């Protein structure tokens, strides 16, 4: 069985995609174990000698940072922290994102700057490998002192509390310990704070959203090109010469991909009656390309984050320093998540406009893409649905990162709201998937009215789609077709080389 070993090497999107796609187990490398143990041993020795308060290690938290805690109360202090901070509400976080939270928390703790016990990290690994998914909620984090509330829920099972899913059964943390014959973790000084401080809620959502965004970006190119063929569009706007004189990377990549998708198409080269296409077709390189460039910026931000130590305080063994700072603050992620949502929403925006053009009775296509319009409404209303979703996305793209609310009695006086940005960015990703699914229905239907053949690649793609969504000959309940089209997109597996 393939195992991914947690090391200090850079964790990248390709590796994460491989781990998720192949459902790999994970394990701590010897190097990671040594770093964790070295840091814990240092902290134990430091605590024996230290008389002064050290934030989060022998003090209260937040605005209670000046309250020193006696040594015999430190375990209770850490347990109290985990229990009292588990205040999540709202919807449950999807299991695939919770597992990413576990993976990224393990990665961050493995660098040996957090002071946790090896036993604690290995229990997190056991949760991941046994597909034990803690119940975590979407609401409750300000994205500033780390994702306190979500990470508290993630950590409760370590001390036999909270709830988890095991084999789709929801059980208590206490039942989990019994089921696996585990003892609860006796949290030592600093450990509760190491578990709760950190940006793994925002980061997990960010990685999940980013991987989906790359897939949607690729499919927007493919589906947009099917629409171009269905609309009897022109190939000139994708000529490399145009894009070399405005050489944005994403623009060049989109134009090149569309040319490749159209290779050996009869339809694109047939004589055209029209001189130009509407912007939603002609400007795909510029619009889709701008999204690609944004994804690269967001990718850089999240790769830095998931390979970082984001709890507080940080312990530097070789330098004999314990330093309280603010690496848990989610501002870089909040800005990136807002930007990601806006960029992907634009893929939906331009997609809906192509759908509108396809149903408008232009270019010798029947009105609403049905052979007997009037008696049949055909594809009239799917465009309404797409328009509704696109409008909702505009509301969801109001930035979370411009907001801040004072918390912890004024100690935490600026927060990122990155957790809110993360959750609503996922809604935008899901919405754009639906908009592209509706465009694919329309584009493939339009293509069925064309006499000339499209390219072998696009023909194969549409033929595969037709196994799930047949041509519409007369009115039927198109809700079912939309859901089938969404499922088709969701279930497509695309090579990492194409995605990233």
- Non-local CB neighbours of 73 within 8 Å, separated by 6+ positions: none
For the four alpha carbons of 358, 364, 367 and 368, in that order, the dihedral sign comes to negative
Structure tokens at 498: 């194409």
Residue 188 buriedness (CB in 10 A; 0-12 / 13-18 / 19+):
buried
| Distance of alpha carbon 63 from alpha carbon 179, whole angstroms | 39
User: Which of 167, 198, 229 is where one domain is finished?
Assistant: 198
| DSSP code at position 450 | -
| CA atoms of 194 and 78, how far apart (whole Å) | 10
Same domain flag for 235 and 187: no
Does 210 share its domain with 191? no
Residues 128 and 229 in one domain: no
Question: Is there a single domain that holds both residue 385 and residue 432?
Answer: yes
d(Cα 279, Cα 233) in Å, to the nearest integer?
A: 11
Residue of 55, 205, 214, 218 marked catalytic: 55
Cα(472)–Cα(178) distance, integer angstroms: 55
CATH no. for residue 368? 1.20.200.10
Query: How many Å apart are CA 320 and CA 318, to the nearest integer?
Result: 6
Q: Are 293 and 233 found together in one domain?
A: yes
Residues 299, 273 within the same domain: yes
Domain count, the chain: 2
How many whole angstroms separate alpha carbon 436 and alpha carbon 369? 17
pLDDT tens digits, the chain, 500 residues: what are they? 589 999 988 899 999 999 998 999 999 999 999 999 999 999 999 888 877 777 767 776 666 666 676 667 778 888 999 999 999 999 999 999 999 999 999 999 999 999 999 999 999 999 999 999 999 999 999 999 889 999 999 999 999 999 999 998 999 999 999 999 999 999 998 899 899 999 999 999 999 999 999 999 999 999 999 999 999 999 999 999 999 999 999 999 999 999 999 999 999 999 999 999 999 999 999 999 999 999 999 999 999 999 999 998 999 999 999 998 999 999 999 999 999 999 999 999 999 999 999 999 999 999 999 988 889 999 999 999 999 999 999 999 999 999 999 988 888 889 999 999 999 999 999 999 999 999 999 999 999 999 999 999 999 999 999 999 999 999 999 999 999 999 999 999 888 777 77
25 and 157 fall within a common domain: yes
Q: Nearest 5°: CA angle at 44, between 40 and 45?
A: 120
Last residue of a domain, which of 179, 198, 217? 198
Q: Output the six-digit token pair for 342.
A: 């806006």
**For tokens 């609401």, what's the residue?**
139
Determine which helix (DSSP H) or strand (DSSP E) holds 482, and give its type and residue range.
helix 478-491
235 and 216, same domain (yes or no): yes
- On whether both 372 and 422 belong to a single domain, the answer is yes
Residue with tokens 């070295």: 38
Q: What range defines the domain where residue 103 resides?
A: 3-198
Q: Which of 165, 198, 231 is the last residue of a domain?
A: 198
User: Do residues 136 and 212 share a domain?
Assistant: no
Q: Which CATH number does the domain housing residue 160 bear?
A: 1.10.275.10
Q: Are residues 189 and 126 in the same domain?
A: yes
Would residue 55 show up in a list of annotated catalytic residues for this protein?
Answer: yes
- Residues with Cβ within 8 Å of residue 430, at least 6 apart in sequence: none
* Domain co-membership, 185 together with 211: no
Q: Smallest Cα–Cα separation from 128: which of 151, 150, 95?
A: 95
Residue 211 has φ and ψ, to the nearest 5°, of: -60, -40
Distances in whole angstroms, Cα of residue 21 to Cα of each of 6, 134, 364:
17, 21, 43
């Amino acid at each position: 069985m393939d195992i991914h070993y947690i090391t200090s090497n850079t964790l990248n999107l390709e590796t994460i995609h491989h781990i998720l796609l192949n459902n790999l187990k994970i394990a701590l490398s010897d190097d990671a174990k040594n770093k964790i143990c070295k840091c814990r041993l240092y902290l134990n020795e430091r605590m024996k000698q230290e008389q002064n308060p050290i934030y989060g290690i022998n003090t209260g938290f937040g605005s209670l940072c000046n309250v020193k805690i006696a040594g015999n109360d430190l375990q209770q202090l850490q347990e109290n922290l985990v229990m009292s901070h588990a205040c999540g509400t709202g919807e449950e976080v999807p299991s695939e994102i919770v597992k990413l939270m576990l993976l990224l928390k393990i990665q961050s703790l493995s660098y040996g700057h957090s002071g946790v016990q090896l036993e604690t990290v290995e229990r997190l690994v056991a949760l991941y490998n046994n597909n034990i998914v803690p119940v975590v909620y979407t609401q409750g984090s300000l994205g500033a002192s780390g994702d306190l509330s979500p990470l508290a829920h993630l950590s409760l099972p370590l001390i036999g509390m909270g709830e988890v899913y095991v084999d789709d059964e929801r059980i208590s943390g206490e039942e989990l310990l019994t089921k696996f014959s585990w003892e609860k973790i006796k949290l030592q000084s600093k450990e509760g704070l190491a578990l709760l401080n950190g940006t793994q809620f925002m980061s997990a959502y960010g990685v999940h959203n980013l991987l989906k965004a790359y897939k949607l970006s690729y499919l927007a190119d493919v589906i947009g090109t099917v629409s171009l063929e269905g609309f009897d569009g022109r190939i000139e706007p994708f000529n490399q010469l145009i894009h070399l004189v405005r050489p944005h990377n994403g623009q060049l990549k989109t134009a090149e991909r569309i040319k490749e998708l159209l290779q050996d198409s009869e339809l694109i080269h047939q004589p055209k009656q029209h001189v130009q296409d509407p912007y939603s077709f002609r400007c795909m390189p510029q619009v889709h390309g701008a999204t690609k460039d944004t994804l690269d910026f967001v990718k850089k931000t999240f790769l830095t984050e998931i390979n970082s130590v984001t709890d507080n305080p940080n312990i530097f063994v070789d330098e004999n320093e314990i330093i309280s700072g603010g690496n848990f603050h989610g501002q870089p992620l909040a800005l990136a998540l807002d930007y990601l949502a806006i960029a992907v929403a634009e893929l939906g925006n331009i997609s809906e406009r192509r759908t509108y053009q396809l149903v408008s009775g232009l270019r010798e296509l029947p009105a609403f893409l049905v052979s007997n319009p009037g008696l049949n409404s055909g594809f009239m209303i799917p465009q309404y649905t797409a328009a509704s979703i696109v409008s909702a996305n505009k509301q969801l793209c109001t930035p979370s990162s411009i907001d801040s609310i004072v918390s912890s009695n004024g100690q935490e006086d600026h927060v990122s709201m990155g957790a809110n940005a993360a959750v609503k960015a996922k809604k935008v990703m899901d919405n754009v998937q639906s908009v592209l699914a509706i465009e694919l229905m329309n584009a493939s239907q339009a293509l069925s009215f064309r006499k000339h053949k499209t390219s072998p690649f696009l023909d194969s793609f549409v033929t595969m789609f037709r196994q799930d969504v047949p041509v519409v000959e007369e009115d039927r309940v198109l809700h079912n077709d939309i859901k089938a089209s969404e499922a088709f997109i969701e279930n497509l597996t695309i090579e990492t080389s194409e995605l990233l």
